[in-house]
Amino acid sequence: EVQLVESGGGLVQPGRSLKLSCAASGFTFSNYYMAWVRQAPKKGLEWVATISTSGSRTYYPDSVKGRFTISRDNAKSSLYLQMNSLKSEDTATYYCARGYYDGYYHSYYFDYWGQGVMVTVSS
């Protein structure tokens, strides 16, 4: 059974840093792209970051580029999100998601999601 379990959330002051973790199990972690998707309170979904299987390629939207860093440790089946210079608008539930790559379409969709971890940025 595929499981994705996030941790590391909490209350943090604006301008400070926080690192989220996602422990994966039930599949060969190194074979999959992984991503973070967030959801502000009572708002929609926003993609935050994606990392390739080896970790050599990373992708971010402009809203977090230069502040957030996605990384992975395939030996530990773990995904991370280092968040620096946090802003109040980063307050959200952060989901770890697995990217299932389809070779025919040369793209992927999110086929499994974790339960999410809350990050609150406030003074």
Partner 1 sequence: DIMLTQSPATLSVTPGESISLSCRASQSISTNLHWYQQKPNESPRVLIKYASQTISGIPSRFSGSGSGTDFTLNINRVEPEDFSVYYCQQSNSWPRTFGAGTKLELK
Binder of partner 1 out of 61, 85, 89, 122 (CB under 8 A): 61
- Residues that bind partner 1 (rule: CB under 8 A) add up to a total of 24
DSSP 54-90: SSS-EE--TTTTTTEEEEEEGGGTEEEEEE-S--GGG
Binder of partner 1 out of 1, 62, 66, 123 (CB under 8 A): 62
> Could you say which residues in the range 12-41 bind partner 1, by CB under 8 A?
35, 37
Binder of partner 1 out of 8, 30, 47, 84 (CB under 8 A): 47
- Spatial neighbors of 40 by CB under 8 A, at least 6 apart, are 46, 89, 91, 92
Q: Does 68 participate in binding partner 1 (rule CB under 8 A)?
A: no
